[in-house]
Structures are given as C-alpha cells and as structure tokens.
C-alpha cells in the first residue's frame, strides 16, 4: 500500500502526525478497498489474525480478523493516536473508569472510534467474527498493558508493538 494512496485527500506530509479525525478518514478509505487487505487475512482461522498493510514513522495501518473470544486486555498506545473502523461484525470498546464500571460502546460494520495517546481501553469481539482496519499515528512502537491486582492497585507493563495484546494475569504481573 503506498503512502500516496493513504495520504491522498488528507492534510498530511512527511514528518507530520495525523489527528484522530484524519486517521478515521484513512481507515474508512482503506476499509472501502477490500482488495488491499482481504486476501491477507484468514477469516476462517481459529486465532485472531493480523495483516500489516503499511508502516512508516508517521503512519501505520493494520487489518485484523477477530474471533468471539478475542480480548485485547486494558492497554494504551503510548505516543500514538488511533482510529478503528469495523468492516464486518461488531467490536466493543471498553473505556477504563476509576471508581465505576467501564464505559462500553459497540461498533458494528461501518462504525469507527478514535482515540488519543492518553486513552486506556480494551477491545473485544462483540458478536461472531469481526474484521477491522486500524490506523495509528505515529506508528506504534510501544504499548502499555494494564491489570489491577487483588488489592486494587493498577499496574502498567510496557510491551512492543509486535506483541499480541491480550488480558494480563494480575498475579504474574504483581510477582514481577
């Protein structure tokens, strides 16, 4: 996938970080071109599958095929803003709230949610299987994963963008 396609019609340039709104427009543009990503995903797989469509310092694009039991666990995207466009099925975004239940929103096919680098959330597959296009700026390098131990203490673990997101075991994190 070329940067010219991704940046076409968007106010972007080399070295420039994109806003969540610009990322949402790019995600919608990529989602509308399934010939660019559908052949790269195994939608019949028994595990969540990923396809990196584009990566450069200012922009990263992924296609992800989700299964019903998939759960990213609580995480942030460190310095990156992002947009998630649901192409098929539905995803549920859970936003962390201290002292209350998480805020949940379900996004069906054609739905998009965006976030800045300070956003802590988890994403689950809401029904059946789902496919999403996910766009980040700058490109992901590190992410933070979170868990709460039995005493109610929040812990953050830094992981590489290449590691698969999944819920952390609070006991393993607390043990070090």
Residue pair 37/51 in contact by the 8 Å Cβ criterion: yes
Chain segment 98-154, per-residue pLDDT in tens = 888 889 999 999 999 999 999 999 999 988 899 999 999 999 999 999 988 888 888
CATH of domain 3-175: 2.60.120.10
What residue spans define the domains of the chain? 3-175
Inform me whether the pLDDT recorded for 11 exceeds 70.
Answer: no
| Rounded average pLDDT over 152-162 | 83
């Amino acid at each position: 996938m070329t940067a010219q396609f991704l940046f076409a019609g968007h106010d972007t340039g080399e070295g420039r970080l994109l806003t969540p709104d610009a990322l949402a427009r790019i995600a919608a543009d990529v989602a509308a071109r399934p010939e660019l990503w559908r052949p790269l995903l195994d939608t019949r797989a028994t595990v969540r599958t990923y396809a990196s469509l584009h990566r450069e310092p200012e922009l990263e694009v992924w296609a992800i095929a989700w299964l019903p039991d998939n759960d990213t666990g609580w995480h942030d995207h460190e310095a990156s803003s992002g947009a998630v466009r649901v192409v098929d099925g539905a995803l549920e975004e859970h936003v962390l709230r201290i002292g209350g239940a998480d805020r949940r929103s379900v996004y069906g096919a054609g739905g998009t949610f965006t976030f800045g680098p300070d956003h802590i959330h988890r994403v689950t597959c809401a029904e059946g299987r789902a496919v999403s296009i996910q766009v980040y700026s700058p490109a992901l390098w590190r992410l933070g994963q979170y868990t709460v131990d039995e005493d109610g203490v929040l812990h953050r673990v830094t992981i590489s963008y290449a590691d698969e997101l999944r819920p952390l075991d609070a006991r393993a994190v607390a043990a070090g």
